[in-house]
Amino acid sequence: MLLSIRNLVVRYDRVLAVQEASLACEEGGCIALIGANGAGKSSTLRAITGLVRPSAGEITFAGERIDRLGPAAIVARGVSMVPEGRRVFPLMSVRDNLMMGAHLRRDEAAIRADLARLLDRFPRLAERIGQQAGTLSGGEQEMLVVARALMARPKLLLLDEPSLGLAPMVVRDIAFLIRSINRDDKVSVVLVEQNSRMALRISDHAYVLETGRVALSGPSHELAEDDHVRRLYLGVGAE
């Protein structure tokens, strides 16, 4: 198992954000975390990346316990995160934003090769390589932060609300991109999404978080047919 989380507890002062949640992602897998705002999805990602220290529980990655490591050490082990809200460095160029994703790497020839490969994959970024990132459209900024994360050569990619605020056509492009990264590049993915329909369509396995707990889990295609999920998260009445 590439990622294993057991009985995770995350607190912010007196607020209990995640309550004994357990989940796992196989190597090459794509899992989705769905649920309402405040359900604990983003807090789970923050715990995986070391941005918040769990109050209890255990997180292992590639067989190593990482829940007491700092963010830089976790990135160095092969975990990259695409944060919510397309957090580009707005005054820096597209190229410099991409190079920030490789700041822990020292293999300069491989970095140049990866940059060229990603610009081939994202032609709109190549066209705007010298442009300030803050002047890009929302969809272009999302492509930039995904490409920036890939510059770290991750084994596991964490995506926090990648479709937030994007037009439907762009959401389809982002969904195709995530599927391609997972299936073609063989990068494991943990996807947090309010767009539950999209998340269940492109993931293999899903977890429904409610008030910090895992309320349901299972193969994504099965959860897409679950009456509870359909009613609360897909906007479909139970039949």
Q: Is the pTM of this model over 0.75?
A: yes
Q: Count helices and strands (H / E) in the chain.
A: 10, 10
Among 117, 121, 224, 96, residue whose Cα is nearest residue 173: 121
| Number of alpha carbons in the 13 Å side-chain half-sphere of residue 238 | 7
Contact 212, 42 (CB under 8 A): no
Q: Radius of gyration (Cα) for the chain, nearest Å?
A: 18
- Asked whether residue 235 carries a pLDDT value surpassing 80, the answer given is no
What local confidence, expressed as pLDDT, does residue 104 receive?
87
Q: Which H or E element spans position 215?
A: strand 213-219
Q: Which CATH superfamily is domain 3-232 in?
A: P-loop containing nucleotide triphosphate hydrolases (3.40.50.300)
Angle at the Cα of 85 (from 59 to 163), degrees rounded to 5? 90
Q: What is the pLDDT of residues 198-216, one digit of tens each?
A: 999 999 999 999 999 999 9
Flag the least confident range among 142-151, 159-168, 188-197.
159-168
Strand partners, 210: 213
Q: Give the range among 41-50, 155-164, 212-221, 229-238 with minimum mean pLDDT.
A: 229-238
Residue 40 has pLDDT above 70, yes or no: yes
Q: Confirm if 130 and 95 have CB atoms less than 8 A apart.
A: yes
Q: How confident is the model at residue 237 (pLDDT cuts 50, 70, 90)?
A: low
User: Which of 12, 69, 14, 13 has the alpha carbon at shortest distance from 42?
Assistant: 12
- Ordered DSSP codes for 107-164: -HHHHHHHHHHHHHH-HHHHHTTTSBGGGS-HHHHHHHHHHHHHTT--SEEEEESTTT
Which candidate, 168, 178, 234, 238, places its Cα nearest to that of 29? 178
Whole-number average pLDDT of the chain: 94
84-131 pLDDT, tens digit each = 878 899 999 999 999 999 998 899 999 999 999 999 999 999 999 999
Instruction: Enumerate residues 6+ apart whose C-beta is below 8 A from 178.
Output: 30, 159, 162, 189, 191, 202
What pLDDT, on the 0 to 100 scale, is given for residue 236?
Answer: 65
Tens of pLDDT, residues 158-189: 999 999 888 888 899 999 999 999 999 999 99
Least confident of 13-17, 82-86, 131-135, 178-182: 82-86
pLDDT interval class at 238 (50, 70, 90): very low
Integer Cα distance of 108 and 102 in angstroms: 9
Q: What pLDDT does residue 14 have?
A: 87
